[in-house]
Amino acid sequence: MAAGGGKALHEMTPEEARALGAQMASMAGPAPRMARVEEHTVSVAGGAVPVRVLVPLEPPRGVIVYYHGGGWVIGAIDEFDTMARKLAERTSSAVVLVDYRLAPEHRYPVAVDDSYAALEWVGAHMKEIAGSTDVPLVVAGDSAGGNLAAVMALRARDRKGPAIDLQVLIYPVTDADFERPSYVDPENQLLLTRDAMIWFWDHYAPEAKRRTEPDASPIRAKDLSGLPPAVVLTAEHDPLRDEGEAYAARLAEAGVAVDLKRYAGQTHAFFTLLMLPGSELGFQQVVKAVRACIVRKSKGQPALSTR
């Protein structure tokens, strides 16, 4: 991409950036076959949120609600379809992709509200999706989607929403602090740069004072206790590395079980770049955690705790 000589992301319009995301998604390769693919629409204030339900050939033993990345500005469920099908197949779980509305057309907190409405819809339709209400419910996401997944875990706890059994946070956005060491390290200005993150935040939440709200920056939440176990993946050469690891540390301090791994030599977006070997390593961590969650739930065991 660098050799192509195109504009940097922060110099693009949102429309140009969205076209680039679609181009990258075209390299994902063949998608596993599903038993069912269903398209639904969740009604929300001022509009509707499309969701895609992917049910693997093996009867689903869990349900994963997946929020895609893209800085809340780019990305669409079609671009994450192959990745989600692979996740469904390997975890023996139904995966629900959420097409939350994007900024700048729909600024914060629209993506959060859309994401929670979709989560509530899934919670109310577990039997139709997975054939049982007794299987684990997992929230997961990458980058801005990791941000939304973390916020969903907080919202579900605080609003007594759907009971979440596991949160999978893949190089998540957890803060709006552009001065962390990983943000300013020249070696980390690769697929995602400091300038690009500022561009994303400026489109998503242009009012700086709102960026410190826990629904925007979950690391700013006063209390992280009582949240579901967390799987956190970070990349060595990623501006978001430090805030992802800081959030994992805060979760652990609050008594939440955390499976944190930093992937050496990797850059932002490695998990969803399915053609790269780093993606497979990340998948192995996530699949192992989801399968362990399924086993715990089937045995009636409580969520793990570090206390």
List residues with catalytic annotation.
143, 238, 268
How far, in Å, are 51, 70, 169, 269 from residue 282 at the CA level? 25, 18, 11, 11
Q: How far, in Å, CA of 140 to CA of 153, rounded?
A: 10
Q: How far, in Å, CA of 241 to CA of 174, rounded?
A: 10
Q: How far, in Å, CA of 212 to CA of 57, rounded?
A: 43
Residues in a beta bridge with 41 = 50
- Structural contact between residues 61 and 93, judged by C-beta atoms closer than 8 angstroms: yes
How far, in Å, are 38, 46, 258 from residue 307 at the CA level? 41, 43, 12
Q: Residue 210 class from Cβ within 10 Å (0-12 exposed, 13-18 middle, 19+ buried)?
A: middle
